[in-house]
Amino acid sequence: MAKAAGAKTAFVKMHGLGNDFILFDFTRHRVPPAADATRWARAARRLCERHTGVGADGVVLVLPSACADVRMRIFNSDGSEAGMCGNASRCVAVYARDAGLASGQAVSIEAKGAHVRAEIITEGEFAGQVRVDMGPPSFRPEDIPVAATGPAVIGERRTLAAGDFEITCVSMGNPHCVIFVPDVAAVDLKRLGPAVEHDPFFPDRTNVEFVQVNGPGDLTVRVWERGAGPTLACGTGACASLVAAAERGFSGRSARVQLPGGTLFVEWSENNHVFMTGPATRVFTGIIDDFEEWLK
């Protein structure tokens, strides 16, 4: 949908449980010549600003792919580039289906260092929602990464700059630090979230999930997203929370994960892949005047 030539560039605003994105479609039109990573980072910060820009948690570029239906590239609201985003994956899947970039209800998406397969469900309890194969999780410190020796950081007591926490670290294509608490509502997210995100224990920073276990198949999660801060939902965070809960024996291998913006259903299958099911909503389309100015 985005037209790089000329002064005006189209976009689509979408969200997954309130985790919202500005999508630019460059599958049929070339990316603006000035749009390198540095300028996209600058544009993302400006576009995501909720008072003077469009307003969003991130910018998503939908691009041609040699190995999938589409390729997505994600810039957080602080300008950093994300490797993976579950909610963005669902939004891209719905957009690709509706724009004729994929045939049928199955959509393959190339992401940074990952290949995601999504299916738009047509019947049953989750009709209209998107089920995404998020791939296998990893507890290996070097995959996350975390500054730790040993095979994994699972339920370990660690002294971080924000205080002492019992943490579980997992990669879902991006880093996550999962902390189980008795009451997520009591967590001072705006103080603890950025302190944990930027702790030296996490060389590439980290997403932070505070998780309350309500039962073997029911989790409540509050998320501080790396590069975006507190968001209404985080797909990879929901997946990391379920995997951490199951690994520690707090949950079964599937659960409804309640986030401030709504509920995702997450399954950790026997083949070690994590599947996430949830909605993706198109909000509106718009036109940005003189897009090259936003890239400067």
Cβ burial 52-90 (10 Å sphere, 16+ → b, else e): ebbebbbbbbbeebeebbbbbbbbbbebbbbbbbbbbbb
Angle 253-269-219 (CA atoms, 0-180°, nearest 5)?
30
Exactly one of 85, 91, 169, 239 is catalytic; name it: 85
Exactly one of 48, 169, 177, 234 is catalytic; name it: 234
234 is catalytic: yes
239 is catalytic: no
Residues noted as catalytic = 85, 234
